[in-house]
A = this chain, B = another copy of it.
Amino acid sequence: MAEKKIRVTVWNEYRHERNVPEVAEIYPKGIHGCIAEFLSECGDLEIRTATLDEPDNGIPDEVLDNTDVLIWWGHIAHAEVADDRVEYIKNRVYNGGMGFIGCHSAHHSKPFREIVGATGNLSWGDEMHEIMWNMKPSHPIAAGIPDHFHLDMEELYAEPFYIPNPDDIVFGSWYESGHIFRAGCTFTRGVGKIFYFQPGHETRKSFYNPYVRQIIKNAVHWTAPNDFGYEIKNEAPRVDSVVEE
């Protein structure tokens, strides 16, 4: 059976990699390039990348209209993302079922905050040792992931994390500084599915970690939209009785 491929767009701010040699060394093709590369190991994805400084932030309407899952990495330039792009993304998630995967500092990105309904505020600090705990092994995003794994160093992201109750908290993280974090969370908004995942600081190699990669692959498949059995429209229709139809 020739399944339709999931169309993934990997969006990256792509500033650190061009301005900071240390980052360029870790992610020579950009973080987007790294993510796109390991995702290509899945046979069922059609992958493209997009970056902030491209026209329309790399995500004009026609790209988003043909995206099933949008992966987002942003950090220092959240404010530069055009508001009309954020609105279009939100509409695609709410009414089109486009999946959204927010990586790392995407917790403070406009799309994440607008889609989920959150400030995304958290506490943050130095890079340090992080241990990731699998808190929902039955979730498809946790498939194949052990009960815990280590990230040598990551940026500290910590509670209190100001998000609504997630549908599922799949991963939680521990830091040597005494902090904990809801590190892997799912949400549904409109007819779209959202996954937020903590790892991915630009100066660290989390995107080379095999478990991080597996989790993102799983998340792409989980956030991809269902085949809806009716047309989802952004409207509030007037309806008549359905009893005798």
Contacts and interface: CB of A to CB of B under 8 A. Distances in A.
Interface of A: 1, 43, 94-95, 97, 108, 114-126, 129, 131, 133-140, 142-148, 150, 156, 158-162, 164-165, 167-169, 172-174, 176-180, 182, 187-193, 225-230, 232, 234-243, 245
A112 to B, nearest CB: 11
B122 A236 contact: yes
A204 to B, nearest CB: 18
A51 to B, nearest CB: 24
Nearest to A115: B117
Contact of A133 (B167, B180, B225): B180
A242 B178 contact: yes
Contacts of A117: 114-118, 164, 189
Given A131-B243, A180-B133, A121 B226 contact: no
Contact of A140 (B161, B167, B180, B226): B226
Copies, count: 4
Q: What are the nearest 9 A-B pairs in CB distance?
A: A117-B117, A177-B241, A178-B242, A178-B243, A145-B229, A123-B239, A138-B191, A143-B226, A144-B229
A137 B160 contact: yes
A240 to B, nearest CB: 6
Nearest to A123: B239
A243 B129 contact: yes
Given A116-B117, A164-B188, A137 B226 contact: yes
B138 A192 contact: yes
A162 B145 CA distance: 16
25 contacts: A1-B43, A94-B118, A118-B189, A120-B236, A121-B234, A121-B235, A121-B236, A124-B236, A124-B239, A125-B240, A133-B179, A134-B229, A135-B160, A135-B161, A137-B226, A137-B228, A137-B230, A138-B225, A142-B229, A144-B227, A147-B159, A174-B179, A176-B241, A177-B242, A179-B239
Contacts of A176: 241, 243
Contacts of A129: 243
B95 A143 contact: no
A153 to B, nearest CB: 14
A167 B167 contact: yes
A150 B227 CA distance: 21
